[in-house]
Chains A and B, each alone.
Chain A
Amino acid sequence: MGVTVLQQFPTENRTGPSTIELLSKRISALGALQQGQFLVDCETFTSCAALGHQRTVHVLHNSEQPATVFSILETGQKTIPLATDGLFDLLMMKMSGFYSSKKQTKAESKGPRYEIGDFCVKLGTVTVSQNFRGVLVEVEYRPCVVPAMCWELMREFLQGFLGSSVPATPPPYLQNRMQELYTPIDTIHQYLEQFTIFRKAPGLRP
């Protein structure tokens, strides 16, 4: 598990599939080989009024860690991340009386997964309740575990195939954790951050 950077790629009047195809061509031209598909999904539950102060639970799955369910509880003051077994999904179903899911906010990002050298690149089409919202590019540099050490290197790699759309600073979530050891839950936080932006944004044409 290495450092992962997640960023949006502007579609600029292109459709979702054509954007993915453009990026696929670029990364293949660099020598990347496709290694299957990936999927990250996110479902959000809110507590019912009877529990008092409203809390939100985001439940996420990542195909990179297929046996784990990640959940992030937002109480208003605190954010509590939790990594659990697959059974957590069933637990949430049992608790449907207390936590109800907002069906229209189910977000997911899926698409091809590429490997190039020690990098792993994922080109995701983002949909929020089945509507196309944009393109997310995830790049993982697997040998390194501290974001501060390899951010410059990863930025160079991102610029190599995304061009000028690469920001000069790391994703906001990572900025406070540049010196810490990177763990899979950090990737989940970045996805949640992006999904929240997509949910708020007005719908794009598919």
Chain B
Amino acid sequence: MERDIEQLNSALNSIKTLRSNVRRVFESVSNGLRADHGEDGKENKFIHELQELLTTVNNNLRDVESAVGNLTPPPGPFNLGSTAFLGQETTQERQALYGQLVNSYKWTDKVREYSALAGNILQTNSFNKTYKTFSTTKRRKTQTSNHNVSPEVIENLITNIDRLFPDVTITASRPFLPNPVIQACLGRVLKAIIAFKGLMIEWVVVKALSESNDLWAESRYKVFKKVTENCHAAMCHFHSPMMPELAVKSFMHWFHSYNTLFSAPCKRCGNHLLGNLPPTWRDLRTLEPYHEECK
């Protein structure tokens, strides 16, 4: 296959040379006698030049013939599969379909190539929201254990968390069975409205204690807007589809560290305020307070 393509390339190249040299012959003939042929014996010089050019053309022609002779003829007519039927289309506006088909084939080929590359790069990134495995039996198992759990399991999880932190009071409501929405009040500092999807945290909004429990409206205070953003980051960080209970617990553990939101100074700069905001970031492992700019 590789050799065939090489030979085809060399044959095409020799045809190209032949064409350009034939063009030179016609150019020279159409120009006729030129000033650079001089005065003495100009006809002879012209004929000589023409002969030289024709010799080159002859040589090129021989090259082409030998290159073509080297080519192996295809074993039979190309098998286009079902696409061959497109050529039999008689309606005017559908005759261009074959070209479009080839184009789209090229596109899908490119998409395949790029997605394979992207897949390789993304595999090294651990922030996966969905768990992907190539073993179908395994996938089915994890999906049932995540999204489609019985309400009692979630209920147990919530009561466990409630017991784990004495200063977090949790009230749960179930607007969409079986997925609960819980309000977690952290001491007298803030409250978070957390929506679950099965055993996974789907959405978090942090607000002041006096604000409404609406899941979709953000807080009117800058500090709680910032904390909401950070909670989203932590939610993705702790997310683990294989161990959803652990993910929720570590998230709540991290979230619990916000009980010092207003009272703890930044670990890095030692100040309370930076840009009129207290340290709104908590380190994911050490739970130490940092400003957005100091972390």
Taking Cβ atoms with an 8 Å cutoff, the residues of A that contact B are: 1, 30-31, 116-119, 141-146, 148-150, 152-153, 156-157, 160, 181
Contacts and interface: CB of A to CB of B under 8 A. Distances in A.
Interface stretch (B28-36, B79-87, B90-98, B275-283): B275-283
Contact of B210 (A141, A145, A146, A149): A145
B146 to A, nearest CB: 35
A156 B224 CA distance: 20
Interface stretch (B52-60, B164-172, B233-241, B265-273): B265-273
B263 A150 contact: yes
B222 interface: yes
A4 to B, nearest CB: 14
B273 A160 contact: yes
Contact of A145 (B209, B224, B271, B272): B209
Contact of B262 (A31, A119, A144): A144
B131 interface: no
A153 to B, nearest CB: 4
B210 A118 contact: no
Contacts of B189: 144, 146, 149
Interface string B191-215: 0000000000000000011100000
Interface string B237-251: 000000000000000
A116 B210 contact: no
B188 interface: yes
A95 B278 CA distance: 49
A152 B209 contact: no
Nearest first, the 9 A-B pairs at minimum CB distance are: A117-B276, A153-B272, A150-B262, A143-B221, A149-B262, A156-B272, A149-B263, A144-B262, A146-B188
A114 to B, nearest CB: 12
Given A117-B275, A117-B277, A153 B263 contact: yes
A118 B276 contact: yes
B221 A118 contact: yes
Contacts of A142: 208, 221
B278 A153 contact: yes
A200 B230 CA distance: 51
Contact of A181 (B188, B221, B262, B275): B188
Contacts, number: 56
B223 A156 contact: no
Contact of A156 (B190, B208, B221, B271): B271
A153 B209 contact: no
B217 to A, nearest CB: 16
14 contacts: A117-B222, A117-B276, A117-B277, A118-B222, A118-B276, A119-B276, A142-B208, A143-B221, A143-B223, A145-B210, A148-B263, A153-B273, A156-B273, A157-B276
Contacts of A119: 276
Given A143-B190, A145-B208, 11 more contacts: A31-B276, A117-B223, A118-B222, A142-B208, A142-B221, A143-B262, A145-B210, A146-B188, A152-B263, A153-B278, A157-B272
Contacts of A118: 221-223, 276-277
A153 B279 CA distance: 10
A157 B224 contact: no
Contacts of A157: 272-273, 276
A118 B224 CA distance: 10
B262 A153 contact: yes
